[in-house]
Structure 1
Amino acid sequence: MFTVYILHSDKYDKIYIGYTSNLQQRLKAHNKLATKGWTIKYRPWKIIHTESYKTKADAMKREQMLKGGQGRKWIRETLLKG
């Protein structure tokens, strides 16, 4: 099982979209363990949305859709209300 997740940084008003097979470990990496990468600059992150998929391919497809303009617009308008 794979999870597509959306993180939000309240402090910086940033969104991160990804997928994983272990959501709790991935969130821990984003918030504490990682020492390099884009997400370390905007900590702390909170999960604002998740979706489950049976295959990695389906999760990747949804992740790419959410990373596009319409997906980000949906996130801002629906999940963040602004």
Structure 2
Amino acid sequence: MKYWYVYIMANKPNGVIYIGVTDNIEERVKEHKLKVYPKSFTAKYNCDKLVYFEDFENGKEAEKREKNFKKWKRVWKVELIEEMNPSWSDLSTNWNLNFNKIRDK
């Protein structure tokens, strides 16, 4: 079964946050960390730490959740992150990502 993910990247605890949606969270996080798109928001603000994510079986539901997140007040987003990840740790730290290979676009 394929999953979709709504995720939040940050540059530091209680810092700049970015909300995204993807069907391949490992590759997407790797792209953020490697700044594959150097002019992107996450590259510009160094949002390279995965601090929150949710998974969905349905892409439309994931997209709907992402859009709702983006409408939320910042304080609500921070509370959501801190419920799951109070220290704002990089949740991808132990994912064993292969930084030698980026999927083709």
When normalised by structure 2's length, the TM-score is 0.66
Whether contact under 8 Å (1:11, 1:42) holds in the other structure is no
How large is the RMSD of aligned CA atoms in angstroms? 2.1
Give me the whole-angstrom Cα distance separating, in 1, the residues matched to 2:65 and 2:47.
24
Stretches of structure 1 that go unaligned for 5 or more consecutive residues are none
Match of 1:42 in 2: 45
Give me the whole-angstrom Cα distance separating, in 1, the residues matched to 2:8 and 2:75.
13
- Greater per-residue helix proportion: 1
Match of 2:60 among 57, 60, 63: 57
Percent identity at matched positions? 32
Per-residue deviation, 1:11: 7.9
Per-residue deviation, 1:10: 0.9
Stretches of structure 2 that go unaligned for 5 or more consecutive residues are 87-105
- Greater per-residue strand proportion: 1
Per-residue deviation, 1:30: 1.2
Per mean C-alpha deviation after superposition, the further-off stretch among 56-65 and 26-35 is 26-35
The structure having more radius of gyration, on CA atoms, is 2
How many residue pairs end up in the alignment? 80
